[in-house]
Amino acid sequence: MTAEAVVVCGVGAALPSRSVSNTELTTRLDTTDQWIRSRTGIVQRYVAGSELSTSDLAVRAARQALACGGTEKAEVLVVATTTPDRCCPAVAPTVATRLGLTGIPAYDLAAGCTGFLYALATAAGLIAGGTARTALVVGADRLATLPDPGDRATVPLFGDGAGAVVLRGGSANEAGALGPVILGSDGTGADLIRASRPSALRMDGADVFRHAVDRMSTTAREAAAAVGWSLGDVDRLAPHQANSRIISFVARRLGVREDRRLGNVAEVGNTGAASIPLLLADAAAQGRLRSGHRTLLTAFGAGLTFGAVALTWPTLPAHPPFGRKGPGHDQ
């Protein structure tokens, strides 16, 4: 049976326990706390040790999301990641089995920092098409492992983490229903953000900035229009947490007031595919994102990839502690 709409009904997040401050980075990089803050808005980031894998983070975020949604089950699992535990096999089947979901369809998806929105769209399509009634979508990355350890331009940007949402079939007029997911790519910019074994991550900052602001703003406008919103209708903007300058420029271009912008980049840095779901979980836990808020998500990542989607935030049936201070940390 096909679903009339696809609805968000649970959210969760996980972070490593170890935070790395800008001051700590200055002991090994030619930089200062002020230089990092002024250019990125980042104060600290969480970094996983060798004992904590991408799949570990994904499992923890997924468990929180399932608990929040009042269920232990999902009929499909999609994990968005740039940093799987191994090249092969994928992370998702391992995560599914650890969650007690052996046998369900489970697969990875790689679309850089836009990966969560790509995964959201594919999982929503499976529900809408009748393949599954519920889905678990996880964004998980250990991006702190990718830069050259001596590169002051990239090391301060990235942190590790995971975020997850639970989806179910529902009606188009209920809170939590997803609008059309606007997605795009542009391979002419593939070299702007790049990493390959054994090469470290490299990024052409000025071009990335320009493309990110343009693409995130454009797709956000399209996503709002797709559900009949004007930008003035938006209560909360939840952009990919790349850096504070990109976030600020996107918000200003869209005309979204500062008090309507969600952000945690200062505390967690750029966590890749985990960025948006981790932000949603964090904001919900802190009361910055509440039931009924018309919420606009937008992202940009390597590929180049970009996307956006609109939804009215649901009333969640359970509300465990998320993010920085909750059980998503390794104990």
Contacts of 199 (CB under 8 A, 6+ apart): none
Do the Cβ atoms of 57 and 48 come closer than 8 Å? yes
Tell me the pairing of strands 305-312 and 199-203.
Answer: unpaired
Task: Output the CA torsion 267→270→272→278 (10° steps).
Answer: 20
Helix, strand or coil, per DSSP, at residue 252: helix
Contacts of 296 (CB under 8 A, 6+ apart): 220, 223, 224, 229, 234, 236, 237, 238, 256, 308, 309, 310
Concerning whether 113 is annotated as a catalytic residue, the answer is: yes
Do the Cβ atoms of 49 and 144 come closer than 8 Å? no
Task: Determine the Cα–Cα distance for residues 39 and 98; give it in Å rounded to an integer.
Answer: 40
Tell me the pairing of strands 106-109 and 160-170.
Answer: unpaired
- Give the active site residue among 9, 113, 211, 264: 113
- Give the active site residue among 9, 211, 270, 293: 270
User: Reading across the β-sheet that carries 236-239, which strands appear in turn?
Assistant: 182-185, 305-312, 294-301, 236-239
- Give the active site residue among 240, 243, 264, 293: 240
* Residues catalogued as catalytic: 113, 240, 270
